[in-house]
Every structure is written in C-alpha cells, then in structure tokens.
Amino acid sequence: MFATTKETHTAVVFLVGEHAYKVKKPVNLGFLDFSTLRAREAACRREVELNRRLAPDVYEGVAHVTGPDGEVCEHLVVMRRMPRERRLATMVSEGRSVDEHMRAIARQIAGLHARSPHGPRIDQEGAPQALRARWTAGFEQVRALPGHTIEPGVLDEIERLTLRFLDGREPLLESRVAEGRIVDGHGDLLAEDIFCLDDGPRILDCLEFDERLRFLDGLDDAAFLAMDLERLGAPRPAELFLHRYVEFSGDPAPTALWHHYVAYRAFVRAKVACLRRWQGDVDAGWEARRLAELALRHLRVGAVVLVLVGGPPGSGKTTLGGALADRLGYTLLRTDRIRKELAGLDPLQAASAPYQQGIYDPEHTADTYAELLSRAERLLGQGEPVVLDASWGDERYRAMAADVAGRTSSSLIPLRCTVMPQIAAARLTARGHELSDADEAVRSAMAAAVAPWPDAIEIDTGTALEQTLARALDAVHPPELNVSWRFQRPRIEPD
C-alpha cells in the first residue's frame, strides 16, 4: 500500500490507508532526548496517554517493530488517520469559515484546563522565575546555534522587552498561581494538528517529552493557537478563539498578559524553526525571522504603560483621558473622583472652593495624588495599563509618577492637553454638574502656577475629539507597532 510521510525535527509520520504511524527520531536536542530505544518507547506511551484526553478515538495505541531476529527495534504511535480537508490550518488557508469550530475548540481547551490536576509540582512552573527561565533558555539555545538566523538586534530587543515585562509583573504572575490558573495543558496547540469534524474537534499531538513545558498558565496554552492562526493570516479567528476561551474559562486576564504569551509562543516556534534551519531546512530561516518579528510586535504592543493625561480645567484632559481609556481598554483613574472619596463625599457632590482651599488645599491634594499613584502601582503590577486623569501641574507629582513607572517596569507616556484660554473658559461655563468643581477663576490661577512640563507630548484639544484622540493614540501606540488584534476589553473606572 502506498504511504506518504511527514517529517518534523523530532519525528516521522507515515500515512498508510486509514492509519498514521509516528516514529520518534533518535535525536538528543538538549531539551528532549530520544537517543535510546527505551526513551522512545516511553515517549510513545506517554503520547498516547496524554492525547487521549482530547482525542480518545484517534490514538489507538503503541505498536512494536521487530527485526529479522525477532527483537524489538522500534516503537510506533498508531493513530486513526484524520481527513486532510478538515485540518484547521487547511480550512483557514482556503478561506473557509471556522467561527463555530473556534467556539468548540475553545470549549474543549477550557474543559481540559478545568479538569487539570493542581499541586506544587504543577504550580511552580507558573511562577515568575519559571517563566523567566524558559525565556532565558530559549535565548541561549538560539544564540548557541551557528550563524544568525534571527537578526541579533531583533533577538536583543525581544529579550529586553520580555525581561522588562517580567520584572514588573511578579504580583500578576503570583496571583495566577494562587488562583489555580496553572494547569497540565496541551503545550503545543497548532492549527496543523487540529481537525474540525462534524461531531467536534480532534486536537492532536500535545507536548509529551517534558511535562514541565506542559505545566503552564492556561492562557499561555491558549495563546499558542492564537499565535499560530495569526501566523497563518487569520487574525479574526485568533481573536474569536481567545474571546471564547475567556468566556468558557472565566479568566479575566489583562491584555498585556495575552500579548506576552502570544509573543512567547511565537518565539518558541521561531526557536524550533532555527533548529530546523540548522538541520538543513533552508526555508525555516525565513520562517524563524517572521516569527521573531511577530513576537517582537506583540511584546511592543503588550508593554504595560502608565499614561498621564494632564492640563488645567477646561483643557479637555478628562474627555481625552476617558476616550483614550475606552478605546484601548485601559483602566482610568481620576483625581476628581479620588479627592472626593478621601473627603467622604459623594463623587457628584459639589465642593467648590477658591484655588488651593477647601478639599483642594495642598494637604488634600498631596493625599489625593498619593492615593492615585498607589492604586496605579497595584494595577500596573497586575499587568493593567492605566490612564491617570489629573492636572499634573506640580512637577513633584510627575516625579512620583515616574518612580511608580520605574518600580513596575512600565512605560511612562505623559500627555499635556492644551487649548486656547477662551475655549477652555467656554467649556467650563457650558458644562453641567460633573466631578470637577473648577471654574474660570480656578482655571486661570492653575494655568499661571503650572510648572513647565518639557517631556510631555502636547495634544491640542481644540479640534474634533476623533482628531485629538488619534494624536493621543499615536503617542501611546505608534502605528508601526500595530498588530492584527489587541484583545481589547473596556476597563474604565465607573461613574
């Protein structure tokens, strides 16, 4: 019977009739060792056991190959052959609709994670130091290969952004462990290994050679498939899958963590492509570079940012801050609200007072900024980008904000709203009852007392809001950093 073969860097699959037979290559790549017959047999048995979690009717068992002398000389994983035309990667490349399949796949992966055992041995692989170690090992493995398949400058920036994210996100990663988010997952979710059948998906080929790489954050596991779909030119199914996974797993992860895990998965595949290039696959070099660029884009967009939106009353800072937070899904914190909370007042209760008097005196103002920045620091540590709406007229408070950004390894983006004085005055006269109590007299006094803010990006709010917002968005996320999806969800402070 005629057979076709498919080869990876660790195995060869023979497709014969209604079955597929996988044989492990006798290789030692450092991160896996199949160099002995016993190791290959153990890997085959483990592969069948693990993959039956998601495809019990596909993995039939392990067969033994004997030589002329009757001795076992090799072991094979025996699988039911899946229809090529129902492969997820094929369906995507042909432009066929996969929306319903994305929902079913997300449900199945979320179910696998929900059934996962938990314990110290699994949990420790989700700790900050474990994630850092996996990234670091990947960098070392790529740099140890001959030549420069990935441009050194690209590799260096990936490493810098990765370590910066990890430096400031220990509270987030530790909370993931405490919440039981670390699971015994699939570990290698690729569209090539998922088949969309009429009675549901069959998800094959989980990672079996090192359980530590399969013990991971459930988001990390799901992000692998999102990355692969984006790599295949299918960003909409990628985003749909993530939305559905969050729905079924009940996981309110911050956007930054999604981007970080998509970047990690892109880099893992880039590393594998580098290994294939080293083994003689010329096309793998191009793939490695493309995947490295994908990782870099997600790391850039997923960087945690602290945005300061400042300016005197009537400058449009509150309108811009709210629109910016809404568009990007960032958390919005306002001094106007916090000030009244600290004073025990209803946020909408009027508390008008002359400049620097009443609850607007220096003591109340210092307490307000301290609380504002304390809340921001907690959010940043949890991977939540933050927009802070305040006047920022005093350079002491801007310095405190810079310290918070430094402690949380976050990018500080200061935006100063400006507008003609007559427009600001008209706005203050026309607006209804709001959180702010400032009037034209307060505005004039504040404008006269404001300290220079030379490092701020000036945003003219005298134009239409969409134009103003576009300039602010370019400052926070320059167009060249765009990726196909952002997995945005609104995180705006409620009124």
Q: Are strands 457-460 and 411-418 parallel, antiparallel or unpaired?
A: parallel
Query: Within 13 Å, how many C-alpha atoms sit on residue 246's CB side?
Result: 17
> Can you tell me whether residue 488 is helix, strand or coil?
coil
Residues 46 and 123 in one domain: no
Q: In the listed set 269, 301, 333, which residue is the last one of a domain according to the structure? A: 301
Domain-embedded: residue 473? yes
Cα gap 373→330, rounded to integer Å: 15
In this predicted structure, the answer to whether residue 210 has a pLDDT above a threshold of 90 is: no
Residues 240 and 200 in one domain: yes
> Rounded mean pLDDT of 173-179?
96
Beta bridge partners of 98: none
User: What confidence tier does 432 reach under pLDDT thresholds 50, 70, 90?
Assistant: low
Looking at the domain assignment, is residue 319 inside a domain? yes
Q: 201 and 105 in one domain?
A: yes
pLDDT band, very low/low/confident/very high, at 483 (cuts 50, 70, 90):
low
Q: What percent of the chain has pLDDT over 90?
A: 73
pLDDT band at 494 (very low <50, low <70, confident <90, very high): very low
- Better-scored residue on pLDDT, 452 or 483: 452
pLDDT digits (tens, 9 = 90+) for 263-273: 999 999 999 99
Nearest to 170 by CA among 113, 126, 215: 126
Same-domain check for residues 449 and 372 = yes
**Residues 301, 305, 306, CA angle at the centre, nearest 5°?**
160
| Structure-model confidence comparison of residues 397 and 432, the more confident one | 397
* pLDDT mean over 418-432: 81
Asked if the model's pLDDT at residue 491 lies above 70, the reply is no
Residue 92 included in any domain: yes
Residues 56 and 124 in one domain: no
Residue-wise pLDDT for 224-275, tens only, equals: 999 999 999 999 999 999 989 999 999 989 989 999 999 999 999 999 999 8
- Rounded to an integer, the average pLDDT of 434-457 is 78
Same domain, 322 and 404: yes
Q: 305 near 410, Cβ under 8 Å?
A: yes
Do the beta carbons of residue 423 and residue 328 sit within 8 Å?
no
| CA angle, residues 215, 217, 220, in degrees to nearest 5 | 105
Q: Cα(221)–Cα(288) distance, rounded to whole angstroms?
A: 20
Query: How do residues 456-468 score in pLDDT, each as one tens digit?
Result: 999 999 999 999 9
pLDDT of residue 1: 53
- Biggest CA–CA distance in the chain, Å, is 100
Are 259 and 326 members of one domain? no
Residue-level pLDDT at 490? 38
Assigned domain for 116 exists = yes
The mean pLDDT value for 41-68 works out to: 94
Whether the pLDDT of residue 435 is over 90: the answer is no
Instruction: Work out how many domains the chain is built from and give that number.
Output: 3
Asked whether residue 91 falls in the same domain as residue 229, the answer is yes
Q: Do residues 339 and 476 share a domain?
A: yes
Helix (H, G, I), strand (E, B) or coil at 392: coil
pLDDT at 434: 65
Overall average pLDDT of the 50-61 stretch? 96
Residue 477 confidence (pLDDT) above 90: no
318-372 per-position pLDDT tens digit? 999 999 999 988 999 999 999 999 989 887 777 777 777 778 899 999 999 999 9
- 330 and 461, same structural domain? yes
**Per-residue confidence (pLDDT) for residue 427, from 0 to 100:** 81
| Residues composing the chain | 495
Residue ending a domain, among 80, 96, 128, is 80
The dihedral through the CA atoms of 137, 277, 4, 94 has a sign that is: positive
- The CA distance from 134 to 271, in Å, is 12
- Tens of pLDDT, residue by residue over 106-142, are 999 999 999 999 999 999 999 999 999 999 999 999 9
Residue 488 lies in a domain: no
Q: Which of 249, 273, 301 is the last residue of a domain?
A: 301
Same domain, 258 and 137: yes
Domain hosting 57: range is: 3-80
Q: What is the pTM of this model?
A: 0.87
| Alpha carbon separation from 299 to 20, 174, 178, 296, 385 (Å, rounded) | 38, 20, 25, 5, 14
Which CATH number covers residue 349?
3.40.50.300
Query: Each residue of 3-54: pLDDT tens digit?
Result: 788 888 789 999 998 999 999 999 998 878 899 999 999 999 999 999 999 9
- The enclosing domain of 74 has a CATH number of 3.30.200
Identify the residue with better confidence: 175 or 210: 175
Q: Return the C-alpha torsion angle 304, 310, 313, 316, nearest 10.
A: -70
The CATH number covering residue 105 comes to 3.90.1200.10
On whether residue 493 sits in a domain, the answer given is no
State residue 493's pLDDT score.
43
- 487, part of any domain: no
58 pLDDT above the threshold of 90: yes
Looking at per-residue confidence, does 421 or 184 come out higher? 184
Residue 105 shares a structural domain with residue 33 = no
Confidence of residue 492 (pLDDT cuts 50, 70, 90): very low
Residue 485 has pLDDT above 60, yes or no: no
Residue 335 located in a structural domain: yes
What six digits make up the tokens of 82? 């899946």
